[in-house]
Structure 1
Amino acid sequence: MSDTTSRLRDGLTPAPHSPAPIRAERRRIIESIRALRRLLGKRRAFELADRRRLNREARDRGRAEAAHVGALRQIEEKRAGQERSLAKDLGSLDGKREQQETHALAVLRREFIERRLRNTPLTASELNGFGTGLIRDLAAQGIRTAADFTGVAWDRAVNGKGGNVLYIHRPDGRRVHINGIGRHRSDPLMEWRQAALNRAEARAPRTLPPDERHRISEIIEAERSRLRAELSKASLAADDARTQENQRHTEALGRLAAASHDAARRAEERRAEFDAMAEQVLALQAELSAHMDRHGDAGLRSRRAQRRALRPIPVLPAIPSPRTPANLTMPSDSAPAAAATGRARLGWLLPVLYFGFTTVVGVGELAGNTAPLGLMIASRLLALATTAELLRLWIPRRRRRTQAPMPPGTGWQTTGVFLALGAAGMFADEKSDVFAAACAISVLAALSLLAGTGLRIRPPELAG
């Protein structure tokens, strides 16, 4: 009774006296620890998933920022293009005014000249050699004034008889032939028309009337006002588009921040659950240790389970904070230097192609040489093994998800194999005396292989 009272005073559970309840109690504690350990085993997967979440959120924020910058750039480029086009149109208005005035003056002069030519009739008194009959024949063909024909030309007759005849060209493109008008009468006819044309051109206006100039000025000023209004409208439209884009960007960042906050809250709750499980495991381990101290060995079958239950809880490495995701922060001094070097280079394809070619042709077998059978087999096997090893190392390091630089020392090893194959080919060459050079290259090959192997076994960051 005093022993039970002392145990209750110390805060311990009264120990059962029968071996069966002792083993049952110990199995209960061990099974509880085992169940909690199974649940804690999911923490690593949870932490990895949470790290992927952080990277995904950072990537989404980066994409949102890139889209925002691209949209603002497009808005600015569109505004600048519209302003350049409108400014160009505004600058050309003065030239356009002169062009319209020149065109209007040309139209005014042409109409005046045509009107004067239509008011200059053909009469027998003004044309030497033309009688009343020819004037009547010309009128029958529609030629009554100086405006009714533009020139004369010789061409073959319509019926093909009589040789060439004189044709009078009308303004509409038709041509007519009047019997009795030949070369001796065509010259006076054209001289009369040219004289009438000269008189009309001399009397034609050389400046625009004030009302016409005013009308053109009103048109130009209206066009200038329209272009200035469009220029102001383009600037306002760009400001509105920029405001809408900033609002859209703010809303997108707000949604991402809200989703990130909710996910971080759930992750913290889940992490708190894992911490509580870890504390329960520690409490159960302390209870198991006290139970073992109190009751001693519970049998051979429970010893291994006890040792496994009392193992320390593995400590996971710290993950980046949600506010400073790993892919947005600068690498710290403790981060491996290789993480920032990128993927393996394409230049490694050159040794791969060389050793693949050597696998096919061997060494010391070109230019009529015949290598020993052992060298033929050994060189091909060495080249094949080197090609396979380089591809095994290079292909995964070129993939986006597993990108990494080639292991330290790979270049030295590749150089050593290259020199070794070259030296073997020189030894097999029977037509030239290169024994000394082959020995020197063999020594360099051995040194390169040793250096590369040493770097592969113990990288530089571990050697320091």
Structure 2
Amino acid sequence: MIDSTTPGRDASAPVPPAAAPSPSDVRAERRRLIGAIGALRRLLAERSAFEVADRRRLGHEARKRERVEAAHGRTLRRIGEGQAQQEASLTHRLDALDGERERREGQALSVLRRQSVERALGSTHLTANEVSGIGAGLVRSLAAQGIRTAADFHDVSWGKAPNGKGGDVLYLHRTKGGKVHINGIGEHRGRPLLEWRRAALARAEARAPRTLPPDERHRITEIIEAERVRLREELAKVPQSAETARAEAVRLHAEALDPLGTAEREAARLAAVRRAEFDTMAEQLRDLQGQLSAHVDAHGDIGRRVRRAQKRALRPAPQASHLPGIPSPRAPGTSTAGVGLGKVTDRAGARPVPGVRAHPGWLIPILYFCLTTVVGVGELADNTAHPVTMIASRLVALTATAELLRLWIPRVRARTAGPMPDGTGRQTSGVFLALTAAGMFEDAKTDVFAIACVVSVLAAVLFLAGTISRVATADDRTGEDPA
């Protein structure tokens, strides 16, 4: 039997401890950990811009959906209004058919009577025996001018002679247009001629029919009933047409929303993947910081230069700020927890709000405080302020300028845009009134002491109210008790 143990070595002998790493290996390992932590921090620094961009994406998607929904609502509203207008118009036309029969019968009777009168006048020929004073020669002269029956003229009038010479002559107005003068027909012959025509017209109107024939009335009734049936059919088709138009609008609405939904889901998937990558990098950063801490505990300090880099690397990882409406893949059980590394621009806890920038009007108090820092208060013209007031007013104005610039500049930039903190306006007004009151106290030429006291009290109240508002807002955001 062959022994499996190595000859010359006792298996029960203790294993000697591993050799300690050399200082160069310790420094190399330390620098590797510090470099890896720095690389992860640089990658994680991109998360703030990513969250802002994703918030804008959500805003763009919401606006696109709002536009599609608004267009769909307008289409449905137009369809409903069109349906109501068509139904009202058809109903009004159906109601009007009740009086349409009388109107059409009246029109038909008027046409029938006019045709009867025209036929009667056309058959009443002008002869020498019909009109007193009109002989055969004048009858031929009238016929030569187209006046043969009572239907060929309708009136007589006086006017200038055709050649422009002499006095007025009598003209006969022809039914087809124009007027003619017949030599030999003046007032004594023209009046009987007109009376003859009127008598013929009266006889024709008396003989004209006063009621419609039964067949004509039946024809009008059939036309009215056919129109009534047609309008009722159209009225019955209006809801169907409107429903068809609504179905088409719903189909177009669904077609418009389908690509939006597909794009939103794909963008949300990519955003979730990106957030998962950031969360993984954050976990890796914490693991590397733990390894670096363990390495420091095991091997101690290795030099001033490495110590500084090591201190920077061991800084706490930045806390992820929550952006509403963006879910985090690492936050199970909640649908509103958002993650981000947005830069905090106010010590009171305010976070950037993309799309909401501080108003440019804040430049006015900033410029005023800058000017006060230079010229002070109560030092205009030949007036001289107390040295304490000169120094204190300039320090207060300088402090106010610096504070407003610190709050306003980050909130104007696109990536860190946001509204000014609550209470800043009241604080600014309080400081402005305080500087104004200080100038009043230093004014030796006018007696404004009482007004200056009132302004001072108002300044203190405004500044205190603004400070309380900012503190309360900060406590609400951090979840601490204001007391």
Alignment partner of 2:253 out of 237, 249, 254: 249
Distance 1:22 1:213, change over 3 A: same
Q: Secondary structure at the match of 1:166?
A: strand
Cα distance in 2, alignment partners of residues 105 and 188 from structure 1: 32
Distance 1:146 1:395 in 2: 101
Kept in 1: contact 2:438–2:452 (CA 8 A)? no
2:128 aligned with 1:124: yes
> 424, 427, 432: which is aligned to 1:407?
424
CA–CA distance in structure 1, aligned partners of residues 116 and 270 of structure 2: 92
84-93 or 159-168, which deviates more: 84-93
3-state SS of 1:150 partner: strand
Contact 1:44 1:316 in 2 (8 A): no
Aligned to 1:75: 79
| Closer/same/farther in 2, CA of residues 46 and 343 from structure 1, 3 Å limit | closer
2:137 to 133, 136, 141: 133
Structure 1 position 15, deviation (Å): 6.2
Structure 1 match to 2:117: 113
Query: Would you say 1:440 and 2:450 are equivalent positions?
Result: yes
CA distance change for structure 1 residues 154 and 5 in 2, over 3 Å: closer, same or farther?
Answer: farther
Q: Deviations over 1:160-209 (max 9, x none)?
A: 33422222221122222233332222232222221111111011111222
1:146 match: secondary structure: coil
Mapping for residues 181-330 of structure 1, pairs under 5 Å? 181-322=185-326
1:302-352 alpha-carbon deviations (Å, 9 max, x no partner):
2222222222211112232448789xxxxxxxx98xx9xx99999x99x99
Choose the corresponding residue for 1:454, options 448, 460, 464: 464
Q: How well do the aligned residues superpose, as a CA RMSD in angstroms?
A: 4.5
Partners of 1:344 and 1:397 within 8 A in 2: yes
> Which residue type is aligned with residue 458 of structure 2?
S
* Structure 2, unaligned runs of 5 or more: 1-10, 328-334, 338-348, 369-379, 385-392, 476-481
**Secondary structure, counterpart of 2:424 in structure 1:** coil
Contact 2:428 2:463 in 1 (8 A): no
SS of the aligned residue for 1:298 comes to coil
TM-score, length of structure 2 as denominator length: 0.71
| Cα displacement (A) at 1:72 | 1.7
Counterpart CA distance in 2 for 1:99 and 1:3 is 132
- The 1:104/1:273 distance shift into structure 2, 3 A limit, reads same
Distance change >3 Å, CA 159–CA 250, structure 1 → 2: closer
Distance 1:218 1:418 in 2: 95
Name the SS of the counterpart of 1:248 in structure 2.
Answer: helix
CA distance in 1, matches of 2:16, 2:77: 81
Name the SS for the 1:154 alignment partner: strand
In structure 1, C-alpha distance between the alignment counterparts of 2:253 and 2:96, rounded to whole Å: 40
Identity %: 51
TM-score by length of 1: 0.73
Query: Could you tell me how far apart the structure 1 residues matched to 2:127 and 2:175 are?
Result: 20
Deviation by residue 1:108-148 (Cα, 9 ceiling, x = unmatched): 11110010111112233332333333333333332222112
Q: Is the 8 A contact 1:54 1:325 kept in 2?
A: no
Q: What displacement does 1:290 show?
A: 2.5
CA contact (8 A) 1:166 1:183 kept: yes
CA contact (8 A) 1:409 1:453 kept: yes
Distance 2:56 2:202 in 1: 92
1:58 maps to amino acid: A
Partner Cα distance (1:252, 1:183) in 2: 86
Give 1:361's aligned residue.
none
Which whole-Å deviations, capped at 9, do the CAs of 1:14-40 have from their partners, x for residues lacking one? 564322222222222222222222222
